[in-house]
Structure 1
Amino acid sequence: MPRVCFQLQVKRDRIEEYKTRHAAVWPEMVRALYDTGWHNYSLFLRPDGLLIGYFETPVSVADAQAGMAGTEVNARWQAEMAEFFEELEGLAPDEGFLQLEEVFHLEDQLPPDVQEVM
């Protein structure tokens, strides 16, 4: 299953409101994310606004993004969230994030005897 990590920059003066909005994401948005392959999805926010996101998907990243792009709720959510971010250059946040390269995954390097126990 592909693991995806990405970063965005939240505007410093919008950090508290961004956190408030994510404390109660619309139920239809949560359902749409899950239904389109955004699983084990988490967001981490540094005090200076650096946002790191992580999700796993049973489909490709492009398919997960396309699935969400096809939903009405995503269009509404992205329109509301776009104002919170720096340097999107006209892209929606879910299209304008910088995907990070995975360079290490513990389970990929565990010896076979440990993997058998898992």
Structure 2
Amino acid sequence: MPRVCFQLQVKRDRIAEYRTRHAAVWPDMLRALHDTGWHNYSLFLREDGLLIGYFETPDSVAAAQAGMAATDVNARWQAEMGDFFEELDGQAPDEGFLVLEEVFHLEDQLIGTTTDDDVQK
């Protein structure tokens, strides 16, 4: 299952409201995310507004984005949240984020190092 990590920058003067909005995301938005393949989804916010997101999806980031783009709730959510971010150049937040390259995953590397001694432990 592909793992996706992304970065956005929340405007400093909107950080408190961003936190408040994400403390109670609309139930229909939560269902839409889940139903379109955004699993194990988390957001991490630094004090200066750096936002890191992570999710796993059964297909690809493009398929997960396309699934959400087809929902009515996503259009409403993106319209409300777009002003919270810097440097989107007219894109919706869920399309304008910077995807980060995964360079290490513990479980992937452990699979290649398992020995008979490890199995006996």
The TM-score, its normalising length taken from structure 2, stands at 0.93
Aligned twin of 2:81:
81
The CA deviation string for residues 10-46 of structure 1, in whole angstroms up to 9 with x for no partner, is 0000000000000000000000000000000000000
Give the alignment's Cα RMSD to 1 decimal. 1.6
Tell which structure's C-alpha radius of gyration is larger. 2
* Aligned AA (1:39): H
* Aligned AA (2:74): N
Q: CA deviation at 1:115?
A: 8.4
Q: CA deviation at 1:54?
A: 0.1
Aligned residues: 117
The CA deviation string for residues 53-111 of structure 1, in whole angstroms up to 9 with x for no partner, is 00000111110000000000000000000010000000000000000000000001112
Unpaired segments ≥5 residues, structure 2: none
The TM-score, its normalising length taken from structure 1, stands at 0.95
Aligned twin of 2:114:
112
Over the matched positions of the two proteins, sequence identity in percent amounts to: 81
